[in-house]
Structure 1
Amino acid sequence: MPKVACMHKLRLKTWKFVSNAEAAAYARIIVFWNPETVMVEMLHFSAQGIHVLITSLVQQFCFSATFIYGFNTITARRALWEDLRRWGTEDLWLLLGDFNSILSQEDKHNGEPVSIYETLDFRECCSDLRIADLNSTGSHFTWTNGTIWTKIDRVMANPQWLSLQQMTHVHFGTPGAFSDHSPSTV
C-alpha cells in the first residue's frame, strides 16, 4: 500500500487529501484537511505546486492557497515561476512551502556569495505577482546543512491578503529538530 494511502487509512481516517503525484514521478506535495472544518477544491497542480481553493466551513471564509516544493536547480524552477504567474489571482491568495530559492544575500549565511543569477527569477516573479512574505517570528534561516543556512521556506501573500484587517502571523521553528527545514505555523 502506498505510504500516502497508508497514512490516510491508519492515522487520518476521516481526513481528505490531494497530491501532485500525477504531475511527478512520485507525490512531492500532499495536502491533508479535515472535511468537517474545511472544504478544499483542487484548481491546478504541477510537479512543483498544488493550487487550491480553501473554504472554512466554520467562518465561511474563502481563499486560494498554493503549496510549493520547488526543484533544486534554477533552470528547473523556472516552470514553477510560470505556474505561479498562470495561477495568480486577485482573490485572497496565500503561497507557502519550500521555494528552494532565496531573494537576497540576507537570506543566506555562509557559503559562496549570492549572485543576481540566483535570485533574479524569483524576485521577478514576486514583483510580477506583487507577493511578499508575511510577518514572521522565529528562525530567519529555514534550512541548513549544518554549515550553510538559508531562507528557502516561506509563507507569502498577495496584496489582497496583506490588506486584510486581521494580521496573519507565521512562526518558523528551528531547522534540524525533525528535518533540515524549519516547521512553520500560520
Structure 2
Amino acid sequence: MNFLIWNIRGLRSSESQQRLHAFVKENQIKVLNVLEPMIDLDQRFMTRRFCFSRVISNLSGHIWVFLAADVQAECVLDHAQFLHIKVSAPFLPTSVFCSFVYARCDYIERRDLWSSLLHVKPVLGPWLVGGDFNVVRDASECLGTRGGRLLPMEEFNTFIMDSGLIDAGFEGSSFTWTNKTIWKRLDRVMVSVDWGDYFSSIRVEHLPRTVSDHCPLLVTAPVFARGPSSFRFQRMWLRHHGFLQTVRLNWFLPCSQSGMSRLFVKLKRLKNHLKWWNRDVFGNIFDKITEAESAVRSAELVCEADPSDSNWAVLSDRNADLARVTAMEADFWKQKAACNWLEDGERNNKLFHNMVKKKRVAKRSSAYGMMGFA
C-alpha cells in the first residue's frame, strides 16, 4: 500500500496541482495526505482532479486526506494539529491507524500535540504517524544552523519514547525542508513497534521538492503474503482456572488409533480444541485488563459510598482478579519478547557459525601451505 505525505505550501496554482497529480499517478497512491493547501476544500472538484473517491479534512482546513475507491477510513479524532483516522481495505491484513501531523511552529503549542497523540495511541495494531513536525530530533538533522533550541528537541524525543514509535528512516535527501540557506529534516514518518507483525517492511523516500520548500514523502508498506497462522502454546493459559480441566477432558476422549498414530491424533485434536478455547473461552487478554480495571473502579466507588465489610470484600476480590489478568498479560509479553529474541538469535547464530567456518578454512589452507602441500 502506498501513501504520499506532502506539505505542498499552497495548492492554488495549476503547476502544484499538476505536480501532485503526477506523483499520485506514477506511484499508484492509495492514501494522499496534503498539508497546508492554503485554499478552501472543494471536495467534488479535488477528488476528481487527483483521481480519488473521497477526501477527509480537519476543521482548520490545514490537513486533507484523499482516499482511493477501495480504501475506507473513519475519522477518530479531528485535532488542530493532526487528523487521526482508521484506515481499512480488503488487501490490508488489519485496520491501520494513521495520524497525519501538521505541527505548530511554537514549541509550547506543540505540547498539546504530543499529549493528544499519546491519548489516541492504539492499544494494539499498526500505527503510522507522519507529516510535518516542525522540529528536529538533534543537531545532525540541520544544516546551516546550530539546530535550534534544545528544549523543543528534548520534548519531541520524549514523546517518541513515551509513544513507543520507531522512526521509519528514509531514502533520498537528508533534509526535507529548506529556505535555500537553512536545511532541516522537519517531515518524517514513524510507526509502532508491532508494525512488522502486519507488514513485511516500510520504505520512506524523500522525493524531489519542486513547487514546495518541503519534500513529498512516498511511503511504501508491502503486505505479508500470509498463510494460516501457526499454533503456539501460551503460558498465560496456565493461570486460567479452567485450563487444566479442559485439557484433561479433551485428552481422555475416546480414540480408535494406537501407538504413535494415537498420540498424533490426540495432539492434533487438542490443538484444535485449544484454538477454539482461546478464542471463545479465554478471550482477548487486553479486553480482560480493561474489564478488570473497570470492575475495580466500580467497586471502589461502592466502598466510598458504603464502606461495609461486604463491600470491602468485593473490592478485594476485584483487585485479585486484576492482579491475575495483569500477570497473564505479563506472561504474554514475556513470551512474545522471548520468541522474537530466539528468532533473531537463530539468524545471529548462523552468521556466527559461517564466520567461524570461514576462519577454520583459512587456517587449514595456511597450514597446508606451510607444510608444502600448497
2:45 maps to what in 1? 7
TM-score by length of 1: 0.88
CA distance in structure 2 between the aligned counterparts of 1:107 and 1:31, rounded to whole angstroms: 27
Cα separation, 2, equivalents of 1:66 and 1:19: 13
Which structure has the highest helix share of the two? 2
Q: Distance in 2 between matches of 1:185 and 1:128?
A: 26
Using CA pairs under 8 Å that are at least 6 residues apart, name the structure with larger relative contact order, 1 or 2. Answer: 1
Cα drift, residue 152 of structure 1: 0.7
- 1:18-167 pair list within 5 angstroms: 18-21=56-59, 24=60, 27-34=61-68, 36-89=69-122, 90-164=124-198, 166-167=200-201
Task: Name the structure where strand makes up a greater proportion of residues.
Answer: 1
Match of 2:315 in 1: none
**Are the equivalent residues in 1 in contact too, given 2:47–2:55 (CA < 8 A)?**
no
- Encode CA deviations 1:4-38: one digit per residue, 9 max, x unaligned: 335336525761111112xx3xx01010102x311
**What is the CA deviation profile of residues 44-63 of structure 1, one whole-angstrom value per residue up to 9, with x for unaligned ones?**
11000011111122345321
Deviation at 1:114, TM superposition (A): 3.4
Q: What is the identity percentage for the equivalent residue pairs of Structure 1 and Structure 2?
A: 27
Match of 1:16? 54
Distance 1:86 1:110, change over 3 A: same
Structure 1: distance between partners of 2:47 and 2:194: 37
Normalised by the length of structure 2, the TM-score is 0.45
Number of aligned residue pairs: give it: 180
Q: List gaps (5 residues or longer) in structure 2.
A: 1-38, 220-374
Structure 2 contact 57–63 (Cα < 8 Å) conserved:
yes
| Cα distance in 2 between the residues matched to 1:14 and 1:102 | 32
Letter in 2 for 1:32: F
Q: Which has the larger radius of gyration?
A: 2
